[in-house]
Chains A and B, each alone.
Chain A
Amino acid sequence: MKNLLKSREFWLATGIIIIIFGVTLRAPGFARFANLADVFNNTSMLIILALGQMVVILTRSIDLSMAANLALSGMIVALINAAYPQFPIPLLMLIASLCGLALGAFNGILVWKLNIPAIVVTLGTLTIFRGTIFLLAGGQWVNASELSDSFIQMTRHNFLGMPLLSWFAILIAAAFFLFMTRTPTGRNLYAIGVNPTASVYAGINVGKAKFISFCISGLMSGFCGFLWVSRYVIGSVEVANGYELTIIAACVIGGISIAGGVGTVVGTILGALFLGIINSALPVINISPFWQMAISGSSIILAVILNARSARNKGRLILKQKSEGKT
């Protein structure tokens, strides 16, 4: 019980419930299951992407190229679909995922083999990926009329009362939970984040583990590229522009420490849901959507302050990077 009260996930979940409750007072329909399921469905992609980002941040890296990777992988399948409408959809899903995986692996190789800081690598690949979309599509959009119906319906299929999109998010979240808590590779990722030097002595290949984490974030981006095109029925250079920072925001709100090694799958999911709920609650309680950006910005700052507080309470050896500012 004491542990529960101390856990970040508990307080985040409580916060989300309070928000839902508060909004429901103003707009009675908000807490209905159908509406909440809808909110979850809208947040599905953010959850998947945030989980991918989480793995990278845990190893003390960061992937700024996720949104661009998503847009590029999405554009590739959108173009294939527009050119060959008969092309089987599951194969498209596979192509998008593999494309994302390849782009992520490219990031990973640069970080692993050339030792370039992740933030520099992904800053570079972010612009390269976006530019490539433009080259591939010749500056054109792929819009609804060009995409085949079966592609568009893919994320909308109703299965056991929920759209497939939501099921994808649930399945992937479950897979991540098992991966992070039950496999040696998953545990290694935590170890690297907490203490890279000790990890080397423990026989963990730090570079390779970072490479794997970038492959995972790339795979998730690619898969979401497919989902994004199907869900929003558009392929363009502008897809998910600036979304990379929203993904990081979800992670930070979910309690992932940017200094690495701290954070859970459940926390990340709750962080993404928190942003999703705020986004969908604002119009319901008649607050202009223009407030959205400032509110998510404030939540990030608040979340970081809380993260720092809880880390201090634990009395854990403060990381080198953190002690800099504390004087």
Chain B
Amino acid sequence: MSDNTPKRILPDRLDTPLKAALFSWPSLLLAVTIAIFIINSFASPYFLSPWALSDATFNFTEKAIIALAMALLIISGEIDISVAGIIAISSTMMGVALQFGADTPTLVIVGMLTGLICGAFNGVLVTRLGLPSIVVTIGTMSLFRGISFIILGDQAYKGYPESFAFFGQGYVYWVISFEFVLFLGLALVYYVLLHKTNFGRYIYAIGNNPIAAQFSGVRVARVKFVLFCLTGIMAGVAAVLLTSRLGSTRPSIARGWELEVITMVVLGGINILGGSGTIQGTVIAAFIMGLVTFGLGLLNVPGIVMSIIIGALLIGVIALPTLLNMLRDRLKQ
């Protein structure tokens, strides 16, 4: 979108690994998380109970699961604004399947498959027709949710089977919810995918310079297509979890989530222009957003006021390095 390519300066000497790790974006975020954790436990006596913390995870795991795939997509220089729309249509399709008497495994498959199809649709539009993803997915966002509205109108699907409730409400062990375990598992998968495989290196290469990547033999269009499909599936998974947790489907489900997911990714230190960022950062950013909203919730701060803090956090965290650099330059003079 904007063209502020940073000046590349080669340092005389590289930072020591320890220093680099200490001053990296994830460590900064981790420090923020710990600070929030401490402030929260002082501010409210209820914060440090295991059940409260377990509840806190429900606030963000569904969004965070999408954020994992979105992170890869944004690193590759694209974006998907339709994820909340995909949740709506996936949830609606599960409702439709329910009307035909589908059992729990079928419902899950329908939800994820719908997500995959929607993601592939985005992928085709962006990679085959060469359209800018930000506009295409604004369009498909309305289209996907619009289809839910056409099918459901002002109605809602209810009466999901009891076994289906496990995904959004079940616990694996003691206070550890299925959602949370799934999120951690997926985070690990995405970490390996992005940081330990060739595919992950391709994503960075594409984000930094798609043309150079193309000439180096990276199948740019195919990688991007896969990333759109992945994001679609993750939105489908989130739809399964959310539908299971709420126990019903309305066309307005998950409205406005796209912006929260993107906020999570950007807060996690992923460059919105593509090319850099880590999964660790995204995971920690998800925790930050979850803890902030939950902690403030315990203090009876209304959700909308928390959004001020999230918004300020987003701008503040991104502006901070630039501001510090400006300050340093001024001090040098």
Contacts and interface: CB of A to CB of B under 8 A. Distances in A.
A288 B153 contact: yes
Interface in A275-327: 288, 290-301, 303-305, 308, 320-327
B155 to A, nearest CB: 10
A131 interface: yes
A32 B211 CA distance: 54
B312 A124 contact: yes
Interface stretch (A156-164, A174-182, A242-250): A242-250
Given A117-B272, A123-B314, A130-B304, A304 B146 contact: no
A14 interface: no
B312 A135 contact: no
Nearest to A199: B3
B127 A297 contact: no
A114 interface: yes
A322 B141 contact: no
Given A128-B311, A139-B302, A304 B131 contact: yes
Nearest to B255: A242
Q: In this complex, which of B77, B132, B150 has the most chain A Cβ atoms within 10 angstroms of its Cβ?
A: B132
Of the candidates A62, A135, A292, A297, the one having the most CB atoms from chain B within 10 angstroms of its own CB is A297
A125 B312 CA distance: 8
Nearest to B320: A114
B129 interface: yes
A120 B315 contact: yes
Contacts of A120: 266, 272, 314-315, 318
A252 interface: yes
A293 B142 contact: yes
A35 interface: no
Contacts of B150: 288, 290-291, 294
Contacts of B306: 131
A304 B266 contact: no
Contact of B308 (A135, A258, A308, A324): A135
Chain A interface size band reads 35 or more
A130 B295 CA distance: 20
B4 interface: yes
B10 interface: no
B102 to A, nearest CB: 24
B2 A123 contact: no
B186 interface: no
A125 B146 contact: no
B149 interface: yes
B249 to A, nearest CB: 15
Interface residues on B, range: 35 or more
B315 A116 contact: yes
A249 B143 CA distance: 12
Given A121-B315, A237-B304, A304 B3 contact: no
Nearest to B128: A325
B305 interface: yes
A307 to B, nearest CB: 8
Interface string B150-192: 1011100000000000000000000000000000000000000
Given A300-B138, A301-B140, A323-B210, A118 B2 contact: yes
Nearest to A206: B3
Contacts of B307: 127-128, 130-131
Interface in A209-229: 210
Contacts of B141: 245, 297
B146 A295 contact: yes
Contacts of B131: 304-305, 308, 325
A118 B142 contact: no
A116 B311 CA distance: 14
Interface of B: 1-4, 77, 81, 125-132, 134-136, 138-147, 149-150, 152-154, 206, 210-211, 214, 219-221, 224, 251, 255-256, 259, 262-263, 266, 272-273, 302, 304-312, 314-315, 318-319, 322-323
28 contacts: A60-B2, A62-B1, A114-B323, A115-B322, A116-B315, A116-B318, A116-B319, A118-B1, A119-B272, A123-B262, A135-B305, A139-B304, A242-B255, A248-B138, A249-B139, A258-B134, A288-B153, A290-B146, A292-B149, A294-B143, A294-B147, A300-B142, A304-B136, A305-B125, A308-B130, A320-B210, A324-B220, A325-B126
Identify the 7 closest CB pairs spanning chains A and B, nearest first.
A294-B146, A297-B142, A131-B308, A297-B143, A300-B139, A293-B146, A127-B311
Given A127-B263, A196-B3, A242-B256, 13 more contacts: A116-B319, A117-B2, A118-B2, A120-B318, A123-B262, A123-B263, A125-B315, A128-B311, A293-B142, A294-B149, A304-B131, A321-B77, A327-B127
